[in-house]
Structure 1
Amino acid sequence: LGYRLTSTLQDRRKSFGSSWLCYTSKDQSIFNCLISPPPPNPTPDPHIPERSILLRKWYELMMKNKDELARLITSENGKPLHEASAEVVYAASFLEWFAEEARRVYGDVVPSPSPDRRILILKQPIGVASIITPWNFPSAMITRKVGAALATGSTVVVKPAEDTPLSALALAELASQAGIPAGVFNVVPASRANTPAVGEVLCTDPLVAIVSFTGSTATGKILLGHTTNTVKKASMELGGLAPFIVFDSADVDLAVVGALACKFRNTGQTCVCANRFMVQKGIHDVFVEKLAKAMERDLRVGSGFEKETTQGPLINERAVKKVESHISDAVSHGACVVTGGKRHSLGGTFFEPTLLSNVTPDMLCSREETFGPLAPVIKFETEEEALAIANACDVGLAGYFYSRDPAQIWRVAERLEVGIVGVNEALLSTVEAPFGGVKQSGLGREGSKYGIEEYLEIKYVCFGGL
């Protein structure tokens, strides 16, 4: 497969493991690297219960090995161990869910306009899926896609993030133990230097029927460009710029609790993290004061393996510099640092949870996704103003708002231009609900009963002469 990639213990920047990498050039199919490449033209499998059984076994093995998988996640990306444990449970839940959904891939019998015809609508597996996943949820982003694909009878090639290959390989080992056949679930790690070339092949190889990617909008656009010549289906879960709106009618204490959970989970490194806090004038000062106190009281920076830690390190130096640039830009244009604002004394890529006030919509932190522990607060006066600010961007993944006015709740929920809305609630991800965005935040939906549709083709069959 090429050469080895050394994985780094995230909080101490020391190597702790390695994995083989796949190297490819533009004229060498990545699938030739695989011992057992997936079949190019899968046929409908009549043994759907077997798929369900295998996915269920994989789920059970994940739960049995939950602690080991969680430690591996914390080692690779630095998130606190309790968050890593929660991710493993969340990741496993997709295998359990799609094990059940596999039995419900139903077609239709449609009434025909002619008495001598019958119309059938079949749903069949799409074929080979290229799946490219991020480092921030190295288990859950794989199972959310792979569980759906395998439930349909499709096969997958997963390219995990270069920062977290071992978590992906651990899932592959458990899949093998569960009895999933060789060539059905394939993992192809790649170095950062070779990721663009590998990604291009995953998007252009004739064997591939669909490309599913989670990551930045900029990278998603590149991958979409690669798929155009072969007209592949694409499922994209891309970046966001989530607004978090607190109206005068809100329960301020509840909003503060939600802000902590929504902003600082995984040290602010999630695509649905609140990126822009907008607080109405009447409660602005109270909210900022209470949020600052809560941050100083409840957030603890440290190694993900320490029990009291709530904030691990950022993934790399580039991430730290982006947070610093957003703070520097805001302060230079009149924003005030309420708490935090600089690198943590622990060194490395640790950063202080930061709260900014007097922020305006034209600052970088209001226009770009920070992906770090920065909470900028914008003051607004009217509902119309808040909605105008919230919707004034080209992405729309998640949005949150706090209000106790029923009429306002309906208005704002309907007018926010996002795919996911939290009303007086900040933790929204669950296997039962569809996950995805509008505008340039992506294409398609993952999870829920809708997620399996991404990996199915619809075939119309007409029987005549009856």
Structure 2
Amino acid sequence: MSTVSESGVVSAVNKELFIGGKWTAASGGRTFPVQDPATGEVLCEVADASPEDGIAALDAAVAAQGDWAAHPPRERGEILRRAYDALMARQEELALLMTLEMGKPLAEARGEIAYAAEFFRWFAEEAVRIDGGYATAPNGSGRFLIAKQPVGPSLLITPWNFPMAMGTRKIGPAVAAGCTMVIKPAAQTPLSMLALAQILADAGLPEGVLNVVTTSSAGSVMEPLIRDGRARKLSFTGSTAVGRKLLEQCADKVLRTSMELGGNAPFLVFDDADLDAAVEGAMQAKMRNIGEACTAANRFYVQRGVADEFARRLTERMAALPIGRGTEDGVVVGPLIDEAAIEKVSELVSDAAQRGAKVLTGGATVDGPGNFYQPTVLTDVPQAARMTSEEIFGPVAPISVFDTEDEVIAKANDTEYGLVSYVFTSDLKRSLRVCERLETGMVGLNQGIVSNPAAPFGGVKQSGLGREGGTVGIDEFLETKYIAVSL
């Protein structure tokens, strides 16, 4: 068990809205509950913002934009660096807070705090590397000056599955670029973002640069801000269905958009793969965050020669995973986020079984309080099963067999999504062929984790627009200005 008090970390978080550098109650004093998904118990109540509160947050961001854009890049970077140090110093309490509101085991929550902090460290270094250009006009009569300037006030919407890291991945580049922000965390997991707001304020972030609105009615609060016209950027991480709606709203004012949307990651294992590495990679790609990740392996395609052995080994590993509340020692599989998540996973497994899939382990919910589902392995999953086209977002590994390279690539690409894929093979030529032919923005080649703050994260097709992280991540918050100079 953690030595940090559960009630203590929850009570330490300010649960009001953070607008213009001040904590303030929501209009009418409205609140909504935050639940522990492992027990169903209410952890606390947080401010429930109204549309008027959202406009007040945008007002604050707009008012602060001019001064913040002119703020020295070095100091913007130093603020992020101080926030990085604070996150690492408070890793244990922040991890416990995350486990309580989201459910992931403490070990994973600690890992996420470190991962989240790295975005601040990375973009602290990128803040002073915003560059431009100087060139001679082709006819020699003038010069071209190229400048990079902040996009302006930005709207950020983050999901519940990585409540701290998805915040720092957006806030980091926005701060580094000189953009002010209004951020709306997911209603299921607002506490991590509220804690982060205080950390940034303590690190010296000026008033109005970051504004946090927590709400149980995301659409009614955020749509007016999108359609207002003063915000110039929207960055969203969440489902493709919601992303489509937001893109329609952004079209009205032609907002700059970044979209990190759904995934349907194929995991390819060829006959010549190192099976030990493939199984280990499968566990990482499937079970990270209890399978509640857009990068989670959603479809396992295993070449016939090793299919039975791979399934046996994966089943053995999955069946042995300890299930329980994330605060308990040794727990690896925590609860899913809510009852709707349990219902969806159950429906997908039932559908596959009815279509002929075999359940090798798991396949059922866990009795008792909380939203728990058994780690599950299915074989002989037909391409017509719903889980081959829908994001599972749970601890379920469906395995199908393939024979040829062309066959598996066709199956892997047969989806509207294109976020990430995984390939395990010892053949160098095949590695390059397959990686180039897969229609995804990222590929894990002989490894089950791709996320890294120093690398560009993002997808193609209906998995999104733009990239976060890496040297290109800050570009999403910068506009290019060309200045023509006559000589």
| Length-normalised TM-score, structure 2 | 0.92
- Counting only pairs closer than 5 Å after superposition, residues 32-181 of structure 1 correspond to structure 2 as 32=56, 36-39=60-63, 42=66, 44-45=69-70, 47-181=72-206
Cα distance change on mapping 1:46 and 1:185 into 2, 3 Å = closer
User: Which residue in 1 is equivalent to 2:211?
Assistant: 186
Cα distance change on mapping 1:347 and 1:41 into 2, 3 Å = closer
Cα distance change on mapping 1:11 and 1:103 into 2, 3 Å = same
CA RMSD after TM alignment: 1.3
Checking the alignment, whether the CA contact within 8 Å between 1:127 and 1:155 is kept in structure 2 is yes
Is 1:422 aligned to 2:449, yes or no? no
Give distance in 1, aligned partners of 2:309 and 2:117. Answer: 40
Spell out, residue by residue over 1:27-74, the C-alpha distance to the aligned partner (whole angstroms, 9 max, x if none): x57222578343375364261111111111111111111111111100
- TM superposition shift of 1:348: 2.5
- TM superposition shift of 1:439: 0.3
Partner of 2:454, secondary structure, is coil
User: Which residue in 2 is equivalent to 1:22?
Assistant: 49
User: Which residue in 2 is equivalent to 1:243?
Assistant: 266
Give distance in 2, aligned partners of 1:34 and 1:419. Answer: 32
Partner of 2:267, secondary structure, is strand
Alignment-mate amino acid for residue 462 of structure 1:
A
Is 1:409 aligned to 2:431, yes or no? yes
User: Which residue in 1 is equivalent to 2:10?
Assistant: none
- TM superposition shift of 1:346: 3.8
Cα distance change on mapping 1:422 and 1:371 into 2, 3 Å = same
Cα distance change on mapping 1:29 and 1:347 into 2, 3 Å = closer
Give distance in 1, aligned partners of 2:391 and 2:376. Answer: 15
Give distance in 1, aligned partners of 2:206 and 2:273. Answer: 53
User: Which residue in 2 is equivalent to 1:197?
Assistant: 220
Consecutive unaligned residues of structure 2, counting only runs of 5 or more, are: 1-25
User: Which residue in 1 is equivalent to 2:482?
Assistant: 460
Is 1:382 aligned to 2:404, yes or no? yes
Alignment-mate amino acid for residue 238 of structure 1:
L
Cα distance change on mapping 1:46 and 1:114 into 2, 3 Å = farther
Cα distance change on mapping 1:34 and 1:463 into 2, 3 Å = closer
Moved over 6 A (4+): none
Give distance in 2, aligned partners of 1:246 and 1:111. Answer: 52
Tell me whether 3-12 or 181-190 shows the greater mean CA deviation: 3-12
User: Which residue in 2 is equivalent to 1:275?
Assistant: 298
- TM superposition shift of 1:16: 1.8
Partner of 1:457, secondary structure, is strand
Spell out, residue by residue over 1:253-287, the C-alpha distance to the aligned partner (whole angstroms, 9 max, x if none): 21111111110111100000000000011111111
Is 1:306 aligned to 2:328, yes or no? yes
Give distance in 2, aligned partners of 1:41 and 1:172. Answer: 18
Cα distance change on mapping 1:229 and 1:349 into 2, 3 Å = same
Structure whose residues are more often helix by fraction: 2
User: Which residue in 2 is equivalent to 1:448?
Assistant: 470
Give distance in 2, aligned partners of 1:15 and 1:230. Answer: 39
Consecutive unaligned residues of structure 1, counting only runs of 5 or more, are: none
Q: Kindly, what percent of the aligned residue pairs are identical? A: 45
Checking the alignment, whether the CA contact within 8 Å between 2:64 and 2:209 is kept in structure 1 is no
Spell out, residue by residue over 1:115-151, the C-alpha distance to the aligned partner (whole angstroms, 9 max, x if none): 3411100000000110000000000001001100110
| Length-normalised TM-score, structure 1 | 0.96
Give distance in 1, aligned partners of 2:225 and 2:330. Answer: 41
User: Which residue in 2 is equivalent to 1:31?
Assistant: 55
